[in-house]
């Protein structure tokens, strides 16, 4: 049966993302028995999975725990987990109220999708780094925004370039809804935003009145030195929405304090 005629405009517009296409192609090659090292999707080395720890945690769960785990939960996520996450974030210089300001999602990708739905109407202006994470664009594009770009170099998004783009938007009588930034180990450039730029970008957000969507999937797995303070840790006006990806128990147990530099 042809179900496509029943699609909404939004549904009809959904196409497999670029990443889905390349990951599927890599899986197909594996199925054919070809030995490949896939560098397209951010796949983990299976050897690094903390499966023993996860097994132990499950073995420790009591009947009372299972009754909670298998039941429906609140849409913001399991409250004791939110409380633990807020303590963990404190170690990164970030104070959030676990009851009002923290939500557990299925990875950062779900949060990107939610941000687009909550903040964007068609034609709204957002600014992203050039280049940026492809699947963030896929999430934003479902809301049909006007996407502008600000250049990056090895030290992250260039504040002067960002300001130029913001001024241009303002001169058109429009507002910038949010700027999407990956400050630490940016995807795809791997750039690390300097502390000076982090401060400058917060100043620009306050001056020109825009929100920042900070994506930080990799900052806390820094191999050399501590994670630099996320933009959220410098935010005095509540303008930054910070996304983390799911840390493994190992990341949590070894998470390091942010640098104060």
Ligand X SMILES: Cc1ncc(COP(=O)(O)O)c(C=O)c1O
- Please identify, among the stretches 84-92, 103-111, 119-127, 230-238, the one whose residues bind ligand X according to the rule CB under 6 A: 103-111
Taking CB under 6 A as the rule, does residue 138 contact ligand X?
no
Contact by Cβ (8 Å): 230, 214 = yes
Contact by Cβ (8 Å): 164, 200 = no
7 CB neighbour count, 10 Å cutoff:
11
CB of 188 to ligand X, least distance (A): 8
Distances in Å between the Cα of 164 and the Cα atoms of 155, 207, 210, 224 are 18, 13, 14, 33
215 CB neighbour count, 10 Å cutoff:
26
Taking CB under 6 A as the rule, does residue 245 contact ligand X?
yes
In the bound state with ligand X, the residue whose beta carbon lies nearer, of 108 and 229, is 108
With CB under 6 A as the contact rule, the residue among 182, 211, 212, 213 that binds ligand X is 182
Taking CB under 6 A as the rule, does residue 187 contact ligand X?
yes
With CB under 6 A as the contact rule, the residue among 13, 16, 107, 249 that binds ligand X is 107
Taking CB under 6 A as the rule, does residue 140 contact ligand X?
no
Distances in Å between the Cα of 143 and the Cα atoms of 118, 121, 134, 185 are 10, 6, 15, 27
**Rounded Cα distance, 129 and 133, in Å:** 9
- Please identify, among the stretches 77-85, 87-95, 104-112, 146-154, the one whose residues bind ligand X according to the rule CB under 6 A: 104-112
In the complex, the residues that contact ligand X under the rule CB under 6 A are 42, 107-109, 133, 182, 187, 215, 217, 245-246
């Amino acid at each position: 049966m042809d179900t496509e005629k029943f699609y909404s405009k939004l549904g009809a517009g959904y196409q497999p993302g670029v990443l889905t296409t390349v990951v599927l192609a890599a899986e197909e090659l594996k199925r054919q028995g070809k030995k490949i090292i896939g560098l397209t999707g951010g796949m983990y080395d299976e050897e690094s999975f903390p499966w023993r720890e996860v097994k132990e945690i499950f073995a420790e769960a009591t009947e009372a725990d299972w009754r909670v785990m298998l039941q429906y939960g609140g849409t913001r996520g399991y409250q004791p987990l939110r409380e633990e996450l807020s303590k963990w974030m404190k170690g990164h210089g970030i104070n959030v109220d676990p009851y009002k300001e923290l939500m557990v999602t299925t990875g950062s990708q779900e949060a990107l999708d939610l941000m687009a739905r909550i903040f964007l109407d068609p034609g709204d202006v957002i600014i992203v780094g050039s280049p940026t994470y492809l699947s963030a664009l896929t999430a934003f594009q479902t809301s049909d925004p006007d996407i502008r770009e600000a250049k990056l170099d090895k030290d992250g998004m260039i504040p002067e370039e960002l300001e130029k783009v913001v001024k241009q938007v303002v001169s058109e009588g429009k507002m910038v809804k949010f700027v999407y930034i990956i400050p630490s180990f940016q995807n795809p450039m791997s750039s690390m935003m300097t502390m000076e730029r982090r401060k400058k970008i917060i100043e620009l957000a306050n001056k020109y009145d825009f929100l920042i969507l900070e994506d930080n999937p990799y900052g806390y797995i820094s191999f050399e030195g501590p994670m630099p303070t996320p933009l959220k840790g410098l935010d005095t006006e509540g303008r930054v929405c910070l996304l983390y990806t799911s840390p493994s128990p190992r990341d949590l147990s070894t998470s390091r304090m942010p640098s104060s530099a």
